[in-house]
């Protein structure tokens, strides 16, 4: 596989799911797609908790509960991964800021390894340098009652996310559109990168007040969000550091970013005469063009 987030060598049978920016919907979805391809219907023979110190401690019964269960499906909700196992058991995983799943034929210890799942012919290891990720057990039939999922908003790639819904959500709100889009209770999965990129695609200023956004602009925002997210998933998500897989292939969505992390550089739409600006909204860097984003 090329143009992806992963170090992949079929010869060595090693898959390294590395995400260098805070994972948002496309990065989590890309991770899910690769894991599904390799792990569905695989039985978990053994789970080793190497270091339980994550954002929340790994549950003490995590190893016992997941042992001998079969991975039936892996789904995504916002920025969360949900592993559905046999016998009505699920666990929720969040990658935090630096979490990765490493897949190997034989386990090879690395610094910052936390949990390893031993399957028939594979080992999946969760590695997290900054330790902001976590694992939570949940009965499958009550998964939507989890405190991490219950308040999440609409999935932006779903049919339910449309101009009518967004218009209702924006109604009478006095906050700026960037802050609104970052709020997971309205739309699940968007983060700093894709909010900036989607607003540029739509030609809307991140500072524009929600209640002042017109119906035609709302349509543009919905179309832009879906377009940018789908494009990023297709390219394997975004990495903000230089990266090549063992075959020398690159293809991250970072190569296609229009505004994010491009402050001081020429706007792709306005060309040489206008530079991308950077400002801070709610403690997060925001990138936009003052000329073509209104």
pTM of the predicted protein model: 0.89
pLDDT score recorded for residue 254:
83
Within a 10 A sphere around the Cβ of 205, how many other Cβ atoms?
20
- Name the pLDDT band for 87 (thresholds 50, 70, 90): very high
Instruction: Give the model's pLDDT for residue 98.
Output: 85
Q: Which of 231, 275, 278, 284 is catalytic?
A: 284
Closest CA to 102 of 112, 87, 94, 92: 112
pLDDT of amino acid 240: 58
Is the separation of the CB atoms in 62 and 69 below 8 Å? Answer: no
Q: Give the pLDDT confidence of 13-68 residue by residue, as tens digits.
A: 444 444 345 789 998 998 899 899 999 999 999 999 999 999 999 999 999 999 99
- Which tens digits make up the pLDDT trace of 259-282? 999 999 999 999 878 999 999 999
In the block, residue with structure tokens 């500072």: 207
Please tell me which residue in 76, 79, 220, 235 is annotated as part of the active site. 79
CA distance 133 to 129: 10
pLDDT tens-digit series, residues 89-108: 999 999 998 888 888 899 99
- The pLDDT score that the predictor gives to residue 239 is 72
Active site residue 284: yes
* Mean pLDDT calculated for residue range 164-170: 98
pLDDT above 80 (res 122) = yes
pLDDT at 21: 59
- The residue annotated as part of the active site, out of 24, 27, 29, 201, is 24
Catalytic annotation present for 102: no
Does position 251 have pLDDT exceeding 80, yes or no? Answer: no
* Average pLDDT score over the chain: 89
User: Tens of pLDDT along 188-214?
Assistant: 999 999 999 999 999 999 999 999 999
The fraction of the chain above a pLDDT of 90, given in percent, is: 77
Residue 9 belongs to what H/E stretch?
strand 6-9
Alpha-helical segments (H) within the chain:
25-39, 62-66, 163-170, 177-182, 192-202, 215-235
| Selected catalytic residue, list 23, 26, 156, 206 | 23
Mean pLDDT check: name the lowest of 51-55, 105-109, 110-114, 253-257: 253-257
Q: Has 24 been annotated as catalytic?
A: yes
- Overall fold of domain 163-288: Helicase, Ruva Protein; domain 3 (1.10.8)
- pLDDT at 245 exceeding the cut of 80: no
Q: Supply the pLDDT for residue 103.
A: 87
In whole angstroms, give the CA distance from residue 129 to residue 126: 10
Residue 54's Cα: distance from chain center in Å?
18
Return the H-helix or E-strand segment holding 8.
Answer: strand 6-9
Break the chain into its structural domains and give their ranges.
10-145, 163-288
Was domain 10-145 assigned CATH 3.20.190.10? yes
Whether pLDDT at 5 is above 80: no
Q: Is 201 a catalytic residue?
A: no
Q: Is the pLDDT of residue 248 over 80?
A: no
């Amino acid at each position: 596989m090329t143009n992806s987030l992963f170090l992949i060598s079929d010869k060595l049978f090693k898959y390294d799911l590395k995400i260098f920016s805070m994972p948002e919907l496309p990065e989590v979805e890309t991770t899910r797609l690769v894991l599904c391809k390799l792990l569905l219907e695989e039985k978990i023979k053994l789970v080793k908790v190497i270091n339980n110190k994550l954002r929340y401690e790994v549950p003490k019964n995590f190893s016992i509960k997941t042992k001998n269960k079969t991975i039936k499906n892996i789904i995504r909700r916002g920025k969360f991964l949900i592993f559905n196992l046999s016998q009505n058991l699920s666990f929720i995983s969040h990658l935090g800021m630096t979490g990765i799943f490493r897949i190997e034929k034989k386990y090879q210890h690395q610094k910052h390894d936390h949990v390893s799942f031993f399957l028939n012919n594979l080992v999946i290891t969760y590695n997290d340098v900054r330790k902001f990720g976590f694992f939570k057990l949940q009965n499958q039939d009550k998964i939507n009652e989890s405190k991490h999922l219950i308040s999440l908003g609409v999935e932006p790639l779903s049919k339910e996310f449309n101009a009518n819904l967004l218009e209702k959500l924006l109604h009478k709100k006095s906050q700026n559109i960037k802050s609104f889009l970052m709020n997971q209770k309205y739309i699940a999965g968007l983060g700093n990168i894709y909010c900036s990129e989607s607003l540029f695609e739509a030609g809307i200023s991140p500072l524009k007040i929600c209640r002042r956004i017109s119906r035609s602009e709302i349509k543009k925002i919905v179309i832009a969000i879906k377009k940018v997210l789908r494009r990023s998933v297709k390219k394997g998500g975004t990495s903000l550091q230089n990266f090549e897989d063992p075959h020398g292939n690159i293809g991250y969505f970072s190569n296609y970013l229009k505004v994010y992390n491009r402050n001081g550089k020429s706007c792709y739409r306005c060309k040489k005469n206008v530079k991308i600006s950077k400002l801070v909204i709610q403690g997060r860097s925001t990138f936009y063009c003052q000329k073509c984003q209104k």
